[in-house]
Amino acid sequence: MYAPSCSPRLPARKLKLTSFWSTKSSSIKKTMKTIHSKFGGGRPLLSAEFYPPKTEEGARQLMTAAHALKSFDLDFVSITYGAGGSTRGLTCEYADLLANVFGFTVLPHLTCISHSKKEIESILEGLDSRGMKNIMSLRGDFPKGQTATERGPFQYASDLVRFIKGKYPEMCLGVGGYPETHPQAISIEKDIEYLRGKVAAGADFITTQLFFDNRYFFEFVTRCRSIGITVPIIAGIMIPCSLPQIESFSQLSKATIPQKLKESLSAASSESEALEVGTRWASTQINELLSHHVDGIHLYTLNRSAPAISILREIRRVG
Ligand SMILES: Cc1cc2nc3c(=O)[nH]c(=O)nc-3n(C[C@H](O)[C@H](O)[C@H](O)COP(=O)(O)OP(=O)(O)OC[C@H]3O[C@@H](n4cnc5c(N)ncnc54)[C@H](O)[C@@H]3O)c2cc1C
């Protein structure tokens, strides 16, 4: 999941890839941990996702959220990548900030569909020189107006995974998984087979697209395990605090919105009431996932701290 309405539509910043990313040497180089080294400690991982804002107000909001979430001892935070590389510089800048200023283990996202091999090499050099040890490796979607014939050398996420592992074997790689099947998949079976291909290419863990009904996640995990996918699967959870917002995300991701959730959100008479509804829904989802020994919970924060904090407090109280 990422927040397409929040960043990629804004104008891209003109940044020179190599000069921008190779100027600073990183103080985190030795200390950043790989995410796969954190699994297996007898408890599920807990993480949060941010997107790179492009305005000062947005930057302030992200910093406030990062500061507030710092006290919850998250295992990692991720920072998304704009469609077609529209936020490439910002993704790296914020990855650096989240690591160096806030001390998080960071998972920068990278999509490959519109990039040349040279660009990907340059981006990887930049991330490596900044001490990043983890990359969320994605295909991405075509930028508006681009067609399949304009695809670059990386056709699928598995191509990117293979390429990164060839150059940086120590880099820990996450890939996307789709409990309700990827919207462009030929079939459920093929989609899961291709996911196995991403793991065979070197992916270390899977983070799922958002879902509001745990049944899809449980069935997805069963399908994965039944075809021999053994890497950890982290559940991607969005706190559903506004019906129009989740409807727009669901349109893109094809995540089903349960009728009961729709009704409860429609009945909320204020923002704070909707926040309560969303928090309750996500808490119930998370508690059920935890009782089924999920490998991890990844919160899609949309750079807002209040809903994420409510959830994290709830998890702490129960856990
Ligand atoms: C956790 C998560 C984080 C995300 N973060 C971002 C982000 O930061 N920026 C962004 O732009 N987007 C992001 N996305 C969205 C993602 O880029 C889109 O869903 C995209 O359409 C698919 O990316 P993928 O890496 O899953 O692609 P792939 O795994 O390549 O799959 C794409 C489609 O191709 C099919 N396929 C896969 N391999 C093959 C093959 N070998 N042969 C034939 N068909 C194949 C699959 O079934 C699927 O339908 C994220 C998604 C998730 C789940």
Q: What percentage of the chain exceeds 90 in pLDDT? A: 77
User: What's the whole-number mean pLDDT along residues 107-129?
Assistant: 94
Report the Cα 301 to chain-centroid distance in Å: 10
Under CATH, which architecture does the 44-318 domain have? Alpha-Beta Barrel (3.20)
What pTM does this model have?
Answer: 0.92
Mean pLDDT of 284-307: 95
The reported pLDDT for the residue numbered 252 is 87
* Predicted pLDDT at 17: 24
The residue-averaged pLDDT of 178-196 equals: 97
What is the model's pLDDT at position 88? 76
* Kind and range of the H or E run holding 88: helix 88-100
Mean pLDDT of the chain: 88
Measure the CA–CA gap between 140 and 72, rounded to whole angstroms.
Answer: 30
End-to-end alpha carbon distance in the chain:
26
Ligand 1 pocket at CB < 6 A: 1-2, 80-81, 83, 109, 111, 136, 138-141, 156-158, 176, 182, 184-185, 190-191, 194, 197-198, 207, 209, 236
pLDDT for position 133: 97
Q: Between these two residues, 313 and 144, which has the higher pLDDT value?
A: 313
Residue 125 scores a pLDDT above 90: yes
Query: Is 57 annotated in the active site?
Result: no
Would you say residue 85 has pLDDT above 80?
A: no
Give residue limits of the domains in the chain.
Answer: 44-318
Which position has the higher pLDDT, 236 or 151? 236
Residue 20 scores a pLDDT above 80: no
C-alpha triplet 98, 100, 102: angle, nearest 5°: 50
Segment (H or E) for 255? none
Q: How far apart (Å, rounded) are the C-alpha atoms in residues 185 and 192?
A: 9
Give distance in angstroms: CA of 254 to centre of ligand 1.
13
- The predicted pLDDT at position 146 comes to 67
Residue nearest (by alpha carbon) to ligand 1 atom 30 = 156
pLDDT tops 90 at residue 292:
yes
% of the chain residues with pLDDT over 70? 86
pLDDT band, very low/low/confident/very high, at 31 (cuts 50, 70, 90): confident
Question: Is the distance from CB of 113 to CB of 151 less than 8 angstroms?
Answer: yes
Is the model's pLDDT at 194 over the cut of 50? yes
Q: pLDDT (tens digit, 9 = 90+) per residue, 205-242?
A: 999 999 999 999 999 999 999 999 999 999 999 999 99
Query: How many whole angstroms from 290 Cα to the centroid of ligand 1?
Result: 26
pLDDT at site 2: 56
Residues 6+ apart with CB under 8 A from 35: 45, 75, 76, 105, 107, 134, 172, 174, 204, 205
Indicate the pLDDT class of residue 135, thresholds 50, 70 and 90: very high
Q: In angstroms, rounded to a whole number, what is the distance separating the alpha carbons of residues 255 and 213? A: 9
At 37-72, the pLDDT tens digits run: 999 988 999 999 999 998 999 999 999 999 999 999
Which residue's CA is the closest to the ligand 1 atom numbered 4?
Answer: 1
